[in-house]
Structure formats: structure tokens, C-alpha cells
């Protein structure tokens, strides 16, 4: 994008974080149950593992795309 490596790193980092936040927000909206309530209030370990696995998967996909 630019000739400055540090600026490129900042831009790609911001773009990756924005893509992750948008994708995770879509996941929360599409979940058939209230994800935050299940994890925090009900202390549902399975829902927390699901959310964590999806978050890691999204991060790997975004990182591979940007690399």
C-alpha cells in the first residue's frame, strides 16, 4: 500500500481487527440463542468453547487472507 512498512502494518492491523469485529457481530446476531447470556450469566462452557473456536477460526482466515 505505502512505501513505509510500519504504516502498512498499522493499516493491515486495523483492517484485520475491523473485519474480525464485523464477522463476530454477525455471528452473535445469527446465533439461535443469546450467546452473551449463555456464556456470562448461565456459565455455559459449551457456548464459550463454541464462541472461542469461531473467534480463532475467523482470526486464522483473516490472517491468511491478509498475509
Q: What does the pLDDT profile of the chain (67 residues) look like in tens digits?
A: 678 888 888 888 899 899 999 999 998 899 899 999 999 999 999 999 999 999 999 899 888 887 6
What pTM value is reported for the model? 0.76
Angle at 27 between CA 58 and CA 61, to 5 degrees: 10
38 neighbors 44 (Cβ within 8 angstroms): yes
Note the pLDDT of residue 21: 93
Note the pLDDT of residue 62: 86
Residue ranges per structural domain of the chain = 5-66
Note the pLDDT of residue 1: 65
Amino acid at each position: 500500500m505505502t512505501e513505509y512498512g510500519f504504516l502498512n502494518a498499522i493499516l493491515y492491523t486495523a483492517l484485520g481487527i475491523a473485519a474480525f469485529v464485523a464477522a463476530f457481530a454477525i455471528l452473535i446476531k445469527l446465533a439461535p440463542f443469546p450467546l452473551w447470556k449463555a456464556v456470562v450469566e448461565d456459565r455455559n462452557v459449551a457456548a464459550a468453547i463454541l464462541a472461542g473456536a469461531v473467534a480463532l477460526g475467523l482470526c486464522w482466515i483473516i490472517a491468511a487472507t491478509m498475509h
